[in-house]
């Protein structure tokens, strides 16, 4: 069974840090682009905001403008896991964070959620002020 499982979310004070994990089963993450998106309350699935992505085999990383150097995406392909390290968190970072994999390359920009066809269930991140 192919699936992604996110973990590591929680409640943190502003200025704190969290590390999210995206563990895959049934496919090798090293072969695909893996992205992180977030969905705030009141937003629809198609409005998920691009956070970061790492291309296959960890060759390149891209970040959303709002991350401002606070977030780092990385892959440990021996563990078949992609991480999102989030530092200096702000209340506006509060959202459900999803990881996603582009299992089929269709030429859609990796900053778009439409590029990804396999999604995890999400993990809640809440940042208190």
pLDDT tens, 88-127? Answer: 999 999 999 999 999 999 899 999 999 999 999 999 999 9
Please answer whether residues 73 and 19 qualify as being in contact, where contact means their C-beta atoms are separated by less than 8 angstroms.
no
Which residues does residue 96 pair with via DSSP β-bridges, in sequence order?
Answer: 39, 124
Name the 3-class secondary structure at 30.
helix
Q: How far apart are CA 108 and CA 116, in angstroms?
A: 9
Closest to 86 in 3D by CA, of 28, 6, 3: 6
CA gyration radius for the chain? Answer: 14
> pLDDT tens, 33-56?
999 999 999 999 999 999 999 999
């Amino acid at each position: 069974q192919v699936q992604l499982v996110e973990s590591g979310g929680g409640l943190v004070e502003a200025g704190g840090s969290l590390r999210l994990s995206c563990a895959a089963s049934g496919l090798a993450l090293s072969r695909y682009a893996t992205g992180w998106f977030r969905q705030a309350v009141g937003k629809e699935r198609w409005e998920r905001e691009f956070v970061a992505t790492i291309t296959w085999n960890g060759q390149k990383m891209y970040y959303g403008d709002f991350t401002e150097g606070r977030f780092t995406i990385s892959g440990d392909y021996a563990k078949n896991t992609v991480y999102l390290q989030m530092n200096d968190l702000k209340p506006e970072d509060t959202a459900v964070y999803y990881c996603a994999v582009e299992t089929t390359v269709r030429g859609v920009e990796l900053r778009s959620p439409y590029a990804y066809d396999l999604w995890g269930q999400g993990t809640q991140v809440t940042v208190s002020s």
